[in-house]
Structure formats: structure tokens, C-alpha cells
Amino acid sequence: MYKIGVVGEGDYSSKIKSLSSNELFTIDFFIEQSSITDFILNSDIVFITNCNNAFNYTDIAVRNGKHIFIENIANFSSQEVEELIKTCNEGSIESCIHFQENRNPALESIKDNIKIPLFIESHRLSTIKNVRYENDVVFELMMQDIFIVLSIVKSEIKRISATGIKVISDFKDIANARVEFTNGCIANFTASRISLKDMNKMRIFQKDSYYSVDFIQQKTDLVSLHNQFEDNKELSVTSNTFNEKNILQIEINDFVNSIHLKQLPKVSMEDGFKTLEVANKILKKINSFGEE
């Protein structure tokens, strides 16, 4: 039986409290009046939510041999993540990064059918009420889609160009990025936190077809070309809708099982580091108005 210790009071605290323990793990929450070090030492897995001192808490955990589940990798610098990766590797410690959309059933249903993506466009738009304003929108929203694209394309990046503006906060509230890969695929990302409605959609184009994924509705549309060798070419649409409400539960179940079975986690610290690096490059482009 693994004991998961939850540190911090991030946005996912209420969701974590609704999770169900099972035959493999129980969940305990840190109380401010107690010793954070003792709490970590008495846990087998430490869940780091959005909180101050996130790196310090994580560092204490990994240096004491505790597996870690990190809610938001954007709370860490690249140097801090590299240091954590080194410590985890030296101590055979497993780490997992929370990228909720990676386990969205709509996306999971099509991943095996995406062979050679040619063009990808994502729109992740949020209303004012549904986001924080503690960081740039690249880190708060766009990173989810960056991770997905990197996991699909599996190619080195050739060039990045990006723009972004401040509208209602001291950080970039709207951002657009274009990422060109060495295999020829191009990905366009748009993120905004001043939209009138929430929208999390992605379209993935490959030869003779494309997938449209609606992450909020958990719906996919496959638009495919028929009669491609004839003059009367036609497009057909095949739609599927899913209904999974507790993706966080699935993520944690998967991580605990990977530790128990000594398997690699579905989203490792290395995956998070690669995503963070691309997000940092995009923000650098926005701030410099240039290209890389």
C-alpha cells in the first residue's frame, strides 16, 4: 500500500480530495501546522500541487527517495528540472508530470491512427474566470498543447516564431506560436485567457484525412477523403464522443501502477522538461519579436 502525500493548496486540491483510494494507495494532505519534512518522509509518493516553494518540497522528496507527481512543471525553472532529473535517475525514483489532456479519451482514441502528421493547429481559449494570472499564457494554457504535439510529431524542432501581448495582466494574455519541425510538420498554437467562451480544440492533418479533437466535449471528428483517384472527390465525417470525467484519477492510478509494476510512467520528468524548454523558447521569441 502506497501513501500519497499531497503538498500545497493548488487548483487541484479539491479534485484530489475527491479521488478514491484503492487497494494500492491512500491519500493524505499536509496540514500547515505540522513539519513539511516529516510529512514528506512519511509518504511514499509526494504530489506537488501549485504552491510556493514547489522546487524545495520536490527536492526534499527526491533526495529522500520519494516518488513524485508534479501538477505544474511551469512552477520550475529548466535548471531546477534538470537537477531533479539527475537526482531521480541516481536514486531510481519515478516522476510523473500532470498533463491532463494527454489522458483525454478523445485524444487517446486517435493517437495510434496518427502516422505522419503534416500540419497541426490548436486553439486553447479560456474566459477570464477560469484561469490564473500568475504567469504568461504560454505556461498556463499553451503548454498542454505543446506536450501533445511533441508526443505526436516525434521530431526535432527546426524553427520557432511567436507573438504575444499583454491585455489585462502583467503577463502575456494572448499568444500565437508557429513551430516547424525537421520532418516537415508545422504546428500552430493559439492561446488566450480573455475569450468570451472556453475552447480547447486541435486539428491534426495527414495525407487524405484530418482529425478534429474537442477536448472539452471529449469528441473527435475524422474527416477523410473518398474517391481520391477520381474527379468527384468527397469528404466524409466520422464522429465519436466519450465521457470520462475524472482524468486525474486515471493519471494517479496509472502512476501508482507504474511504480508497483516497475514500469515507465506515461509522462516522465524528461517529457515535462522537453515541453518546458519549448515553452521557454516560445516566450523568448515573443519577448524578442524574432525567430529561432
Model confidence pLDDT, tens digit, residues 91-146: 999 999 999 888 999 999 999 999 999 999 999 999 987 677 778 999 999 999 99
Q: Are 155 and 183 in contact (CB under 8 A)?
A: yes
Answer yes or no: is pLDDT of 149 > 70. Answer: yes
Q: What is the pLDDT of residue 230?
A: 64
Residue bearing the bigger pLDDT, 140 or 18: 140
Name the domain boundary from 93, 109, 136. 93
d(CA 228, CA 258) in angstroms, rounded, equals 44
d(CA 108, CA 102) in angstroms, rounded, equals 7
Domain for residue 147, yes or no? yes
Q: What is the pLDDT of residues 37-79, one digit of tens each?
A: 999 999 999 999 887 889 999 999 999 999 999 999 998 999 9
Mean of pLDDT values over 255-264? 90
Range of the domain at 9: 2-93
**Domain match, 237 and 179 both:** yes
**Domain match, 225 and 105 both:** yes
Sheet of strand 2-7: strand arrangement? 25-29, 2-7, 45-48, 67-70, 95-97
Q: What is the pLDDT of residue 216?
A: 95
Domain for residue 251, yes or no? no
**Domain match, 121 and 60 both:** no
Closest CA to 278 of 194, 189, 166: 189
Domain for residue 270, yes or no? no
**Domain match, 143 and 43 both:** no
**Domain match, 76 and 117 both:** no
Number of domains, the chain: 2
**Domain match, 71 and 28 both:** yes
**Domain match, 148 and 131 both:** yes
- For the chain, count helices (H), then strands (E): 9, 13
Q: What is the pLDDT of residue 86?
A: 96
Q: Are 28 and 1 in contact (CB under 8 A)?
A: no
CATH code at position 192: 3.30.360.10
**Domain match, 107 and 196 both:** yes
Closest CA to 48 of 280, 246, 252: 252
**Domain match, 144 and 283 both:** yes
| Range of lowest pLDDT (59-68, 84-93, 153-162, 218-227) | 218-227
